[in-house]
Amino acid sequence: MRVLVTGGAGFIGSHVADLLNASGWDVVVLDDLLPQAHGGEEVPGYTTAHRFVRGAVTDAALLRELLSEVDVVCHQAAVVGHGLDPADAPTYALHNDYGTAVLLAGMYAAGLTRLVLASSMVVYGEGRYRCPEHGVVAPAARPPSAIENGRFEPPCPRCGADLEPLLVPEDAPLEPRSTYAATKLAQEHLAGAWARQTGGHVWALRYHNVYGPRMPRNTPYAGVAALFRSALERGEPPTVLEDGRQRRDFVHVEDVAEANLLALKTPGQPGELTPVNVCSGTPHTVGELATELARAYGGPAPVVAGGARSADVRHVVADPARARELLGFTARIPFDEGITSFAAAPLRV
């Protein structure tokens, strides 16, 4: 079976490509090596096990050539992270949404009917919450004045009470809070429309907080784990926003690669997009991540700075049940083991 892995030189895509190759798949990697993720580096050495093509998913002619040679597509290519400001919006829309549209059109022309799409937890916005009096509710927005005064928990929109965070299922409301999040949801909508029009199937893998080797260092587009590691490499303490008690679901990149392999091997319902959380299902706080990483690295203890970015949410921890039921996927690398290994893992430039 031959598979095209877009973004296959990136953090997650490269691990997916490696696992597919080790599992006997014939892997073609397409990657534009965008400086936001690769810092202007040459082709990474870890791509040598695959056929590597440097190019963009927006290049329709190149995609026509590559798609005529493969059986299935694993679409990892994207500009990631919250970004710096709204000026990033055209870049996100070009690479994430227009690029996905070009890919889907090329798949239709080539007669391909199976796609694994890298989506994200960011499509949910805030996680799921329960009010003691009103049950499951969408939390009220956190006003800047509350954050400035150290009140970080979102209140019940009806009574103002503190809310209990719950696991987020795939049928939760989708309310993206950043440009990146909006483009990831648009990818799902585009892929879902393609599936309905062609009778194809899409697994939309909603990654939660992925960490591990090959994360890019020293870039505002990187995930929080890479930002903490980069600080430690500079001899600085990790800076934790809010009070450090915001809950996340941290999942190792090797587990994420396994989820992609299972999705590529598992047929789905024709004409549908099936969203699946790729997660551990176990909550840990951002403060825990910073503390465990600093301890394992042997660096200075984290500094809790307060404040929050405009796109930040308080708690997002996923329900892993659907991935287990439909794909047979369960994350295997425990948090403490994964963070200890990540403390010594190589980062990219």
Contact 292, 302 (CB under 8 A): no
Which DSSP string corresponds to 235-289?
T-PPEEEBTS--EE-EEEHHHHHHHHHHHHHS---TTEEEEEEES-S--EEHHHH
Residue 136 has a CB neighbour count (10 Å cut-off) of 12
Q: How do the pLDDT tens digits run along the chain, 349 residues long?
A: 999 999 999 999 999 999 999 999 999 999 999 866 666 567 777 877 889 999 999 999 999 999 999 999 999 999 988 766 888 999 999 999 999 999 999 999 999 999 999 999 999 999 999 999 999 999 988 888 989 999 999 999 999 998 999 999 999 999 998 999 999 999 999 999 999 999 999 999 999 999 999 998 877 667 899 999 999 999 999 999 999 999 999 999 999 999 999 999 999 999 999 999 999 999 999 999 999 999 999 999 999 999 988 778 999 999 999 999 999 999 999 999 999 999 999 888 6
- Tell me, yes or no, whether 148 lies in a domain: no
**DSSP label at 222?**
S
- Tell me, yes or no, whether 70 lies in a domain: yes
pLDDT at residue 213 in the model: 95
- Tell me, yes or no, whether 13 lies in a domain: yes
Residue 147 has a CB neighbour count (10 Å cut-off) of 16
Which DSSP string corresponds to 310-326?
TT--S--EE--HHIIII
pLDDT at residue 122 in the model: 95
pLDDT at residue 216 in the model: 87
Dihedral pair phi/psi, residue 303, rounded to 5°: -110, 125
**DSSP label at 218?**
S
Q: How many domains does the chain have?
A: 1
CATH number, domain of 199, equals: 3.40.50.720
Sheet holding 51-54, edge to edge: 51-54, 26-31, 2-6, 72-75, 114-120, 201-207, 272-278
Radius of gyration of the chain (CA): 20
pLDDT at residue 203 in the model: 98
- Tell me, yes or no, whether 33 lies in a domain: yes
Contact 188, 204 (CB under 8 A): yes
pLDDT at residue 309 in the model: 82
Q: Locate 262 and state its tokens.
A: 């299972």
- Tell me, yes or no, whether 58 lies in a domain: yes
pLDDT at residue 45 in the model: 77
Contact 3, 71 (CB under 8 A): yes
Contact 323, 260 (CB under 8 A): no
3-state secondary structure 113-175: CEEEEEEEHHHHCCCEEEECCCEEECCCCCCHHHHHCCCCCCECCCCCCECEEEEECCCCCCC
**DSSP label at 345?**
S
pLDDT at residue 38 in the model: 65
Dihedral pair phi/psi, residue 66, rounded to 5°: -70, -40
- Tell me, yes or no, whether 28 lies in a domain: yes
pLDDT at residue 312 in the model: 87
Q: Which residue range(s) make up the domain with 326?
A: 2-128+166-214+250-281+319-332
pLDDT at residue 140 in the model: 87
- Tell me, yes or no, whether 159 lies in a domain: no
Dihedral pair phi/psi, residue 226, rounded to 5°: -70, -35
Residue appearing with tokens 């029009």: 197
- Tell me, yes or no, whether 204 lies in a domain: yes
What is the C-alpha to C-alpha distance for residues 188 and 143, in angstroms, rounded to an integer?
A: 30
pLDDT at residue 222 in the model: 74
From residue 119, alpha-carbon distances to 24, 79, 133, 181 in Å are: 25, 12, 34, 9
